[in-house]
């Protein structure tokens, strides 16, 4: 499938990205602007011919048709027989039917209920059964029921004016212990967020939270401290959560795409319904752009094609996402689930084994912190790691403009350094006064940067709720396009099942209730060790 691009790569792989800037228009030609964002991919080895080949690939793989199928409610999640309509959640005035039924009245009704609930909670109208105002909210969920709101509440901290929101995800008791230790159960609301309401981590933590609340306010009042976000209304009722505080959603919302609906309730509580609506509007604006912008003007399409170029054509196995924004420090983790759970597959839609690589390993940390940690490898390691930088032109701290300027200078310096590198001559010049002869050359070699390392940069004016919505939707559509080109189902996640099943079987073995006989030698050894030291 990638033959044309591979042959093209063979002819261009040795050229210097920097030399491409002999074309004075390169930066503009290899950038896309929309919705106040600038996506610059000119510091890559992509030229006009590369881009034409990539756009032709997208056409040939049917990206446009598949995109319309998604937006109009076709069941493109073929292994689960489901539509993929998280886009409907952020376009409440739109209209979409699934199985002949208009899904929008339900979306609008749930959004209004969430807004009424969040407003009541924030305004003090909805109180604890004892009449106290809720000061804190704990969202208990994992994966898609945690990463989105946890990332966004932090990202939008400057807009936070509601109760404090906390997140518990890990089944490790340390997590819920440490979060609850700092809170007052008498004024805490617990939101149990689980699409299925069967996830063992979430249900275990929910029970622990219930015991914690009940111990303080009594069994009868405990229920008044709980709300639920789920598509399994039977199970939320079994848990004893009053239906007035249950916010449901349909199976056409995938877990890692769910923060636009009820799973975003903690974000709505933190920033308020208006800012949540602005977040939705940002997502909807990006949807519109993705659906209508042509070819190279389409930012999600180009972000995806740059990804395909680096991962499938150039064979770079990972990509680093590097937000120069401390408040986006959970974005890499969010994108890890979005990208790797979606596109980490080995078979195509028809079940055949892929004969090319599926999605890349995605990782990252905010700048400038990463610079003092792993950037060494990015600059001088033997593997090439395409980097995706992002930064706002303005920070939220008017008194700290100089710090934001320093942040931006660092962001720009990194992409320049990766591309430009430092030659042996330049490195020699740096240490010429300190060493001589063979020692001078040896020392200089350690200071050489090969350069010619690709990166992209996304810049935007300010990280507002709307801009965050645009960024998240941009990445969702990037994943979608890459998945279509790879011919895989980006919307299932069978790869998480086996570990879950084995963990269930290992539970009684670890607890000492069943024998480890029948397990492999390593597992038996680990169980023995645990038994020796656990008590
Ligand atoms: O919301 P739930 O049903 O608890 O699932 C949580 C997460 O678990 C997964 O199913 C993977 O185990 C994710 O896709 C999902 O986001």
* Mean model confidence pLDDT for the chain: 97
Q: Give the residue, by CA position, lying nearest to ligand 1 atom 8.
A: 143
Ligand 1 pocket mutation pick from 199, 265, 476 by most atoms within 8 angstroms of CB: 199
- Residue 370 Cα to ligand 1 middle (Å): 29
The pLDDT assigned to 535 comes to 80
The average pLDDT across 226-232 equals 95
pLDDT at residue 468 greater than cutoff 90: yes
DSSP characters over 479-499: HHHHHHHHT--TT--GGGHHH
Task: Report the pLDDT averaged over residues 489-502.
Answer: 96
d(C-alpha 125, C-alpha 176), whole Å: 27
Q: How many CB atoms lie within 10 A of CB 499?
A: 9
- What's the CA gap between 43 and 121, in Å, rounded? 48
Residue 329 has pLDDT above 90, yes or no: yes
What pLDDT is stored for residue 288 in this prediction?
98
ipTM: 0.98
Q: pLDDT tens digit string along 347-371?
A: 999 999 999 999 999 999 999 999 9
What number does the ligand 1 atom closest to the CA of 201 have? 4
Helical H segments across 30-102, by residue range: 48-60, 63-71, 86-89
Q: What pLDDT does 230 receive?
A: 93
Q: Return the residue whose CA atom lies nearest to atom 4 of ligand 1.
A: 194
Mean pLDDT of 519-524: 97
Q: Are 145 and 174 in contact (CB under 8 A)?
A: no
Q: Is the minimum distance from the CB of 44 to ligand 1 under 6 angstroms?
A: no
| Encoded tokens for 499 | 């570990």
> What is the residue-wise DSSP string for 88-105?
HHT-TT---EETTEE-HH
Residue 1 is predicted with a pLDDT of 78
Q: Is the pTM of this model over 0.90?
A: yes
Q: How far apart are CA 363 and CA 377, in angstroms?
A: 14
| Residue closest to 12 by CA, chosen among 415, 4, 450, 297 | 4
For residue 145 and ligand 1, the question of a CB distance below 6 A is answered with yes
Q: Which residues pair with 32 in a beta bridge?
A: 39
List all residues 6 or more positions away from 519 whose beta carbon is below 8 Å from its beta carbon: 509, 527
- Say what the pLDDT of residue 216 is: 98
User: What is the radius of gyration, based on Cα positions, of the chain?
Assistant: 25
Q: Measured from the CB, is residue 491 less than 6 Å from ligand 1? A: no
Active site residues: 341, 372, 500
Residue 204: the pLDDT is: 98
- In Å, how far are 3, 49, 309, 455 from 53, measured between CA atoms? 10, 6, 10, 20
> What is the 3-class SS of 121-136, one letter each residue?
HHHCCCECCCCCECCE
Ligand 1 atom 7 nearest Cα: 143
Centre of ligand 1 to C-alpha 473, Å, is 20
- For 110, 413, 442, the CA distances from 448, given in Å and listed in that order, are 58, 17, 10
How many angstroms is it from 204 CA to the middle of ligand 1?
A: 14
Residue 501 Cα to ligand 1 middle (Å): 14
**In 147-255, at which residue ranges do the beta strands (DSSP E only) sit?**
164-168, 188-193, 226-230, 246-248
The CA-based dihedral angle spanning residues 508, 512, 516, 521, taken in that order and rounded to the nearest 10 degrees:
120
Q: Is 268 in the pocket of ligand 1 (CB under 6 A)?
A: no
Mean pLDDT, range 292-318, rounded to an integer: 98
Quick check: CB of 144 below 6 Å from ligand 1? yes
**Ligand 1 binding pocket mutation candidate from 195, 233, 265, 495 (most atoms within 8 A of CB):** 195
| C-beta of 142 in contact with ligand 1 (< 6 A) | yes
User: What's the token pair of residue 200?
Assistant: 């063992």
Q: Is 493 in the pocket of ligand 1 (CB under 6 A)?
A: yes
Distance 428 CA to ligand 1 centre (A): 54
457 phi, psi to nearest 5 deg: -135, 130
Q: What's the CA-to-centroid distance between 329 and ligand 1, angstroms? A: 21
Distance CA 41, CA 54 (A): 14
């Amino acid at each position: 499938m990638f033959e044309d691009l591979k042959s093209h790569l063979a002819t261009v792989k040795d050229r210097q990205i920097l030399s491409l800037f002999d074309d004075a228009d390169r930066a503009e030609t290899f950038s896309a602007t929309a919705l106040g964002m600038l996506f610059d991919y000119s510091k890559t080895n992509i030229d006009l011919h590369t881009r034409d080949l990539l756009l032709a690939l997208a056409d040939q793989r049917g990206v446009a048709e598949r995109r319309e199928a998604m937006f109009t409610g076709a069941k493109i999640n073929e292994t689960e027989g489901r539509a993929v309509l998280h886009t409907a959640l952020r376009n409440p005035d739109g209209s979409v039917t699934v199985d002949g039924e208009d899904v929008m009245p339900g979306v609008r009704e749930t959004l209004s209920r969430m807004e009424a609930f969040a407003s009541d909670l924030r305004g003090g109208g909805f109180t604890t059964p004892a009449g106290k105002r809720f000061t804190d909210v704990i969202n208990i969920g994992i994966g898609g029921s945690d990463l989105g709101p946890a990332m966004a509440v932090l990202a939008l901290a400057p807009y936070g004016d509601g109760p404090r929101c906390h997140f518990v995800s890990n089944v490790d008791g340390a997590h819920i212990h440490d979060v609850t230790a700092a809170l007052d159960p008498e004024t805490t609301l617990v939101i149990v967020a689980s699409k299925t309401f069967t996830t063992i981590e979430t249900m275990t933590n929910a029970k622990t939270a219930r015991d914690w609340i009940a111990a303080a306010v009594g069994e009868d009042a405990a229920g008044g401290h709980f709300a639920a976000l789920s598509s399994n209304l039977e199970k939320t009722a079994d848990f004893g959560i009053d239906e007035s505080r249950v916010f449901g959603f349909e199976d056409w919302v995938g877990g890692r795409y769910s923060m636009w609906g009820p799973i975003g309730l903690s974000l709505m509580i933190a920033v308020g319904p208006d800012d949540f609506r602005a977040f939705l509007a940002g997502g909807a604006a990006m949807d519109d752009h993705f659906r209508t912008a042509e070819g190279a003007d389409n930012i999600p399409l180009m972000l995806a094609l740059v990804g395909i170029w680096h991962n499938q054509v150039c064979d770079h196995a990972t990509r680093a996402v590097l937000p120069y924004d401390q408040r986006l420090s959970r974005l890499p983790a969010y994108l890890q689930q979005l990208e790797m759970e979606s596109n980490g597959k080995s078979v195509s839609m028809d079940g055949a084994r892929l004969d090319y690589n599926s999605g890349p390993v995605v990782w990252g940390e905010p700048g400038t912190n990463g610079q003092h940690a792993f950037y060494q490898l990015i600059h001088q390691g033997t593997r090439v790691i395409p980097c995706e930088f992002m930064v706002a032109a303005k920070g939220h701290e008017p008194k700290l403009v100089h710090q934001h300027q320093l942040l931006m200078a660092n962001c720009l310096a990194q992409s320049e350094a990766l591309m430009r590198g430092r030659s042996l001559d330049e490195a020699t010049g740096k240490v010429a006064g300190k060493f001589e002869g063979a020692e001078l050359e040896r020392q200089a070699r350690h200071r050489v940067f090969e350069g010619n390392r690709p990166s992209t940069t996304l810049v935007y004016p300010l990280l507002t709720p709307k801009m965050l919505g645009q960024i998240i939707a941009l990445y969702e559509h990037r994943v979608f396009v890459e998945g279509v080109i790879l011919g895989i189902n980006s919307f299932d996640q069978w790869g998480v099942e086996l570990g879950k099943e084995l963990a269930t079987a290992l539970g009684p073995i670890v607890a000492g209730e069943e024998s480890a006989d029948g397990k492999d030698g390593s597992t038996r050894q680990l169980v023995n060790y645990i038994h020796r030291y656990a008590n």
